[in-house]
Structure 1
Amino acid sequence: MNEDDSLVSNCKCVMGNGNRIDFWEDQWTEVTSLRESFPRIFRIANRKSGKVHEFRAIVDEVWTWRIEIRRQLLAWEVNIWNEFMNVLNRATPVRDGEDRLKWLGVSDGKYTLKSYCLAVSCVGVRDDNIWKIVWSNIAPPKVEAFVWKAVLQRLPNIVKLLKR
């Protein structure tokens, strides 16, 4: 799947125990993926793959991150590292334990075909006030349908009628 896929772009991993979420590639923090958002840290990291639970340790019931790097950080990399660690620390696991996907198309996070269709149909569409006026029930339905066809230039004109 590519990044333009609307299904993938509207899903986010919700961290539980970290057994199923890829640490570098999946979107489980506030950023798209750690690899894309922190390419410098990814380049100097010893481990380029693994699940979230492989990069953390629980010490005294507190999560600590174990990201091993192959060299000392340069002075200008320290700010990037601090932001990287802040992003990791803001990602909190859910209490029930299992990792899962959350559908961003609806507030409850549960995927439905209807919510997917709404998300896909609304991509790139801006709110147009003319439709609120057309469908506001101030005219009979026949007139509303006529105006709708006229705005979309779907009225049969003499050329179209001659073709028929």
Structure 2
Amino acid sequence: TRYLRSRFDAVVTVKDGNLVAAERGSGLSVSGLPLGNVTIAPGRNLISYSTRWRDKPKHAEVEAGWFDRQAAKRQPVVEAGGTDGPRFRMRSPYPDETEAKDYAASLGKQLARAEANATFEIEGEPNAFAEQLAICTGVGADVDGAWLINDVTLVIDDSGFSTTLDCELPG
């Protein structure tokens, strides 16, 4: 499963004896149906939030190589990465062009998602789960928009029921 996750940037697991894979950050279930969104807005359900924009890793492109046996040399494959920055070069060559493209595209999506993280604490939302999109509105220009939910923590204590969403930018 680790191989599939890294090559195709997928969520891979075994459920009921079947290997299940879905594209990470697509907002779709394995069957292709939308997972639904969690809406976040001040005055509606937002308690607190924090965001962290990273200086790194920012790479505009990802380059992977594969070894062309007929030409007897390493051939580059370039895929889109994040928003700006230098080219990220993957060191190890891959056996063929298709595999090199898959790995470069997967890493490009991962680098794009890693540019920012956000944590939202909202009023209790029992239907929130990882891989859904959190749609934030009315907070601020740098925060408003779609965020991919990585982790959901539900808390019930003396102060009530709250949900913490750990998010990153969708790739």
TM range (shorter): under 0.3
Considering fraction of residues, name the structure with more helix.
1
Q: TM-score, normalised by structure 2?
A: 0.23
Considering fraction of residues, name the structure with more strand.
2
Point out the structure with max Rg over C-alpha: 1
